Structure formats: C-alpha cells, structure tokens
C-alpha cells in the first residue's frame, strides 16, 4: 500500500509530477498564430503529424495541448500560443493536471474563462 488515499504513487514520485513545464509570465506575451496552417517544431511535436490547420477548432485545440505539454521554454509559448485564444479554449483542452494547475495558479482568468488584459 502506498499510503496515498487514491492507491496511486505519492506526489512527486512520477515524472509528470516533477517535469519542468513552461508557464508564460503574462498572457499578453502570447502572440502566436491564430489562422492558417502551421507546422510545429520537431521538439514540440515529434509524432510526425505536427501540421495543424488552425481553421479546424479540433486541430487548433490539439496544437495548444501539444505546446502546453511539450514546451520547455517560454519563447516556445509566445511563438505558438495566443493569449485570447488560450483563454477561449482552456476549458476544452485535455491537459495533464500538473500543467492545468500551474497555469491556473498563474492565470485565474483561465479557470474563469474571462480575459483580463493589462
């Protein structure tokens, strides 16, 4: 028995718990593309299907999920993500709990769905 009430490993014992996820300093810093077709850098989408048509809401959301999970530098976030789009998509994104909690701790507007630009 692990001592955890859920029966899973204790916090911090899994890579996902200690992995360094990048979080932007400000949503205003995120000026990524909002239209067209983009191809993510290989270090972000190494699956071989890193091409995203942003006109498709599903592909747009998948691109945001990929960048949020895989970005290790804030520059990747500002290059690929758009602040207003992130707020709009946030609730539908499928993200590791560690990513979601770090971003929502920094930006409460993500959880509320309301943009609060400076």
Q: Where are the alpha helices (DSSP H) in 3-114?
A: 15-18, 57-70, 74-80, 83-89, 97-106, 108-112
pLDDT classification of 3: cutoffs 50, 70, 90 = very low
CB 65 within 8 A of CB 91: no
Q: Is the pTM of this model over 0.85?
A: no
What tens digit of pLDDT does each residue of 56-76 get? 999 999 999 999 999 989 999
Q: What percent of the chain has pLDDT over 70?
A: 79
Residue 12 DSSP symbol: T
Q: Identify the pLDDT of residue 9.
A: 57
What tens digit of pLDDT does each residue of 41-55 get? 888 887 777 899 999
């Amino acid at each position: 028995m692990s001592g955890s009430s859920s029966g899973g490993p204790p916090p911090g014992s899994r890579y996902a718990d200690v992995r360094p996820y990048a979080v932007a300093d400000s949503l205003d810093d995120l000026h990524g593309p909002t239209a067209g077709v983009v191809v993510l850098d290989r270090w972000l989408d190494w699956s071989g299907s890193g091409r995203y048509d942003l006109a498709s809401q599903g592909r747009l959301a998948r691109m945001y999920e990929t960048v949020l999970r895989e970005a290790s530098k804030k520059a990747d976030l500002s290059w690929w993500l758009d602040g207003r789009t992130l707020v709009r998509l946030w609730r539908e994104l499928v993200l590791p709990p560690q990513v979601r909690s770090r971003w929502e701790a920094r930006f409460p507007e993500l959880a509320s769905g309301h943009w609060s630009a400076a």
